[in-house]
Amino acid sequence: MNVLLEKLKEVLISVVPIIILVLVLNFTIIPMEPLLVFRFLLGALLIVLGLAIFLFGVDIGISKIGTLMGGALTKSNRLWIVVVAGLLLGFFISIAEPDLHILAGQVDIVTSGVISKLSIVVVVSIGIAVMLTSGLVRIIYNIPLYKLLTVLYLFILGLSFFTSSEFLAISFDASGATTGALTVPFMLALALGVSSLKKDGKASEKDSFGLVAVTSTGAIIAVMIMSILSKQDEITGSLQESVQTSSSLLAPFIDKLPVIAFEIFVALLPIILLFFVFQKVSFKISPKAYRKVLKGLVYTFVGLVLFLTGVNAGFMEVGSRIGYNVALLDNKWIIIAIGFILGLVVILAEPAVYVLTHQIEDVTSGYVKRPVVLIALSIGVAFAVSLSMIRILIPGLQLWHFLLPGYVVSILMMYFVPKLFVGMAFDAGGVASGPMTATFILAFAQGAAEAIEGANVMVDGFGVIAMVAMTPIIALQTLGFIFKMKSVKEGLKENEA
C-alpha cells in the first residue's frame, strides 16, 4: 500500500502542472464552457489514479514477465529460438498496442479507405517483429548499438526520398504509436533480462537500453516501403473527427470506458498467454511469485483503462479547443509559447517515461539521476512542440526540414557521447511519444492547423509526434556530453590531488 501511495504522490506532482496550465488559459485568454473544464478535471482525476495503479502493476507484473522471458531466451543459447520468439513477441505485442489501432483508424478515415486500417496494423507489426528480433540478436552478439542505428537511419534516409510527405509523417508517427504504454515497459524488461545474463557487467549496463530504439525503426521502414509500393501520392483530408459535444458531464467517459477496456484486454492477452506457456515450459516460478505477477497484470489493466479513459474523454477535446482558439488570436506567436510550455509539462505525465527514467537510475546505480533525465526530456519535447507550431504558422516549412538535420545531428552525436547514453537517448525518443502526447499534443496541433489558413491538418497534425520522437534523442545525448565533461574534470582533479 505504501508503494501505491508513493506512486500516487509522484504522479500527482507530474499531472498538476498540466491542470494549472489549462485552468490559467481558461481564466485568461481562452475561456471555455464550464462543462468542458469539469470534464477535463474529471479526466485529470482518472489519469492520476490510473497512472499510479498502472505503474504499480508494471513493477510487479509486466516488467517481471519481460525480465524472465529475456533470461529464458538467453539461457536457451540457441539463435533460432531467439529469432522465432523475437518475431512472435514483436508481432503480437505490436498488433495489440491500442495507440497503433488509433493511428491506423485515422489513416483509414483520411485516405477514405484506400489504405485500410488492417493493412497498416499488419505492415507495422511485421516491421516491429523483424526489428525486435534484430535488437535481441544485437544484444546477444555484442553488435555496437551506434553502428546498427547508423545503418538503420541511413536506410530510412534513403527510403524517405521516395516517400510522399504525408506518408513521411505517418511513418514516424507509427514508430511513436507502437512504443506505447504497454510495449515499452515490456521491451525494457526484455532487454534487461537478456543483457543481465551476459558475463560482461559494463556491456550489460549499456545493452539494457537500445531495444526500443531499434524496434521502433521497424515501423518507420515498414510504412515507407508500403508507401513506395502502393504509389499513394497525394492524400488530403481533415482529421477533425466530428466531436459530438455531449451536454452530459459523464457521457463521454461512459461511452469510452467499455471500448478502451476491451482494447486493453486484447493488448494484454498475448503477454498473458505467453506468460502461461513460458511458466509451464521454462520459468516454473513459485506459486507465491506467480500470484504476484497475475496481481500485477490486473493492476496494469485497471490502471491503463482509467488512464486512457481520462485522456480520451477528458483531455483530447480540451487540447483541440486550446489549439484552435489560440490560433485564432490576433497575435499568432502566442501559440509557439503555449506549445513550448505544453511540451514541458505534458511529458511528465507519460506512463512509459516513468518506467524508462526509473530504469536509467537503477541500471546506472544512481549515477544518472531521474530528475536530470526528466528535465532534459521536458526541454527536448518543449522545443519539439514549439517548432511544430512554427511549422504550422509558416506554410513553406516542411517536416523534413526539421527531421533531416535533426537525425543527422543525432547520428553524428552517437560517435562522441558515452555509449550508455546512446541507447538511453534513442529509447527516450520512442518513449516520449506515448498516449499523452498522441492525444493531447496531437489534438492541440490539429486544432491549430484547422484554424490557420494554408495549414494541412493531415501533414501538420501528424508531424508533431515525429518531432516529439526526435528532440529527446538530441537532448539526452547532450546530457551525455555534459556527463562526459564532468567526469573528465573530476578525473583531472583526482590526478592533481
Is residue 497 one of the residues assigned to a domain?
Answer: no
Is residue 190 one of the residues assigned to a domain?
Answer: yes
Q: Is the pLDDT of residue 251 over 80?
A: yes
Q: What is the pLDDT of residues 430-479, one digit of tens each?
A: 888 888 887 789 889 988 988 888 777 767 777 888 899 999 999 999 99
Distance of CA 191 to the CA centre of its chain: 17
Q: What is the mean pLDDT of residues 240-253?
A: 69
Is residue 213 one of the residues assigned to a domain?
Answer: yes
Is residue 184 one of the residues assigned to a domain?
Answer: yes
Is residue 495 one of the residues assigned to a domain?
Answer: no
Residue pair 292/418 in contact by the 8 Å Cβ criterion = no
pTM of the model: 0.87
Is residue 496 one of the residues assigned to a domain?
Answer: no
Residue pair 339/444 in contact by the 8 Å Cβ criterion = yes
Number of CB atoms found within 10 A of residue 91's CB: 20
CA atoms of 124 and 115, how far apart (whole Å): 13
CA atoms of 429 and 469, how far apart (whole Å): 4
CA atoms of 115 and 226, how far apart (whole Å): 10
Q: What is the pLDDT of residue 110?
A: 66
Q: What is the pLDDT of residue 123?
A: 94
For residue 8, count CB atoms less than 10 angstroms from its CB and return exposed for 0-12, middle for 13-18, buried for 19 or more. middle
Is residue 21 one of the residues assigned to a domain?
Answer: yes
Question: Number of structural domains, the chain?
Answer: 1
Residue pair 327/335 in contact by the 8 Å Cβ criterion = yes
End-to-end CA distance of the chain: 48
Q: What is the pLDDT of residue 199?
A: 63
Q: What is the pLDDT of residue 295?
A: 95
* Segments forming the whole domain that contains residue 116: 3-230+250-490
Q: What is the pLDDT of residues 347-364, one digit of tens each?
A: 988 888 988 999 899 888
Region of poorest pLDDT, from 71-80, 96-105, 285-294: 96-105
CA atoms of 381 and 434, how far apart (whole Å): 12
Q: What is the pLDDT of residues 124-140, one digit of tens each?
A: 999 999 999 999 999 98
Q: What is the pLDDT of residue 115?
A: 79
Q: What is the pLDDT of residue 248?
A: 86
Residue pair 178/349 in contact by the 8 Å Cβ criterion = no
Q: What is the pLDDT of residue 236?
A: 56
